[in-house]
Amino acid sequence: MSTGIDTEAATAIPQRLLLGSGPSPVPPRVLAALAQPTIGHMDPAFAAVMGETIALLREAFQTENLATLPISGTGSAGMEALVANFVDPGDRIVCGVNGLFGVRIADELQRAGADVVQVRADWGRAIATEQLLEAAAGGRTDAIFVVHGETSTGVAQPLGGLADWCREHDALLLLDCVTSLGGHPLRLDEDGVDAAFSGTQKCLNCPPGLAPFTAGERALDKLRRRDRPGRSWYFDLSLVLDYWSPGPTSGRTYHHTAPINMVYALREALRIAVGEEWLATSWERHRRAHHALRDALAVFGCERLAPDGEQLHPLLAVTPPAGVDEAAVRRGLLVDHGIEISGGLGPLTGRLWRIGVMGAGAKREPQEQLVAALATLLHADPSEPLAALHEGWRA
Ligand SMILES: Cc1ncc(COP(=O)(O)O)c(C=O)c1O
């Protein structure tokens, strides 16, 4: 009996150069790790993989937090886990909203029954610290929650000053660092962040499917003070940690079956991203790659949305050249050149190109391919933008 499915077409996955907002290019070593034999989630050999993954995640986050682990699920699962564990109904939470991912966090907080105080800035601008602190001072505040790297606009949120206020006022500082982790300077402990979540498919160059997560003692204290279980069983950290980080005397306890092969992949991705390249070197490479590509695209007439000093290195959001059908160019890149870039979201739909500068994508060669392909589609001479790109890499 025919299923009506063209199995050849369904199984043939095209080669793509992923230079969009994520997923980013996955190195063959990470794909090979994914294809290792599946073993049991209680197997001591898997415990060794978990241990190394946790150690590498601590390095990526620049934290000593014991509660550091990959949550099962994509970045959004990390957001759910963070809210389920550290936000109680009725908590007053100051939430920065300057793009789609801030909007989503505000929505999630609302659903959790929090009293959400949104502090907005234009999409494409960072939120002034004073505005966040003024809102926080407007009542008894339980947490400030911001997006470090706003992927919808390519803006990095400064964290300076937030942690001090939170410590003085017994509030938590909560962070979405999905796009910044591994690609933009972030020192979790030094920045005083109490809990944060990320994703695997951005600067870590791993397929999507896990959410790197970390929480410090101040956040865990809040969890311990709860007089009844939180609303989520799946994301209950007190249960999940009994599996990921059991105490010295208690044995590892099954909670849910870990996504074994994804953990192999994340460990390999982290070995590459933070084990083999020093994190500060990687941040500097992302910075150079961002500026080199920005200079090259400026030759086509593209302007970066984020002003100087507010840019997120792993995500370059630019206006397409005037008069160009931006969607048609993106289609041409994908279909004719096998290169993916992303378009604008929400109010910026049709008005932006969002280009990933993430991990293996933050290198000269993939950027040369993109610039040359864009020149073809825009009927422009590639020599000047390529020269600008090379100059940027030399700077
Ligand atoms: C800043 C930010 N937060 C959260 C998410 C949600 O992550 P995911 O799509 O992996 O669930 C994304 C995804 O792009 C993101 O860029």
Give residue 210 CA to ligand 1 midpoint distance, Å: 11
Residue 365 has pLDDT above 90, yes or no: yes
Task: Give the model confidence (pLDDT) of 2-33 as tens digits.
Answer: 666 776 666 799 999 999 999 999 999 999 99
Counting residues of the chain whose pLDDT is more than 90, the rounded percentage is 94
> What percent of the chain stands above pLDDT 70?
98
User: If you average pLDDT over residues 374-383, what whole number do you get?
Assistant: 98
Pocket of ligand 1 (CB under 6 A): 21-22, 74-76, 101, 147, 149, 151, 176, 178-179, 199, 208
HEC string for the chain: CCCCCCHHHHHCCCCCEECCCCCCCCCHHHHHHHCCCCCCCCCHHHHHHHHHHHHHHHHHHCCCCCEEEEEECCHHHHHHHHHHHHCCCCCEEEEEECCHHHHHHHHHHHHCCCEEEEEECCCCCCCCHHHHHHHHCCCCCCEEEEECEECCCCEECCCCCHHHHHHHCCCEEEEECCCCCCCCCCCHHHHCCCEEECCCCCCCCCCCCEEEEEECHHHHHHHHHCCCCCCCCCCCHHHHHHHHCCCCCCCCCCCCCCCHHHHHHHHHHHHHHHHHCCHHHHHHHHHHHHHHHHHHHHHCCCEECCCCCCECCCEEEEECCCCCCHHHHHHHHHHHHCEECEECCHHHCCCCEEEECCHHHCCHHHHHHHHHHHHHHCCCCCHHHHHHHHHHHHC
At 249, the pLDDT band (50, 70, 90 cuts) reads confident
Q: What is the mean pLDDT of residues 319-335?
A: 98
Do the Cβ atoms of 267 and 56 come closer than 8 Å?
yes
Residue whose structure tokens are 């063209």: 6
18, 21, 178, 202, best to mutate for ligand 1 pocket (most atoms within 8 Å of CB):
178
**List of domains in the chain:** 16-21+279-394 (3.90.1150.10), 28-275 (3.40.640.10)
Where residue 248 falls among pLDDT bands split at 50, 70, 90? confident
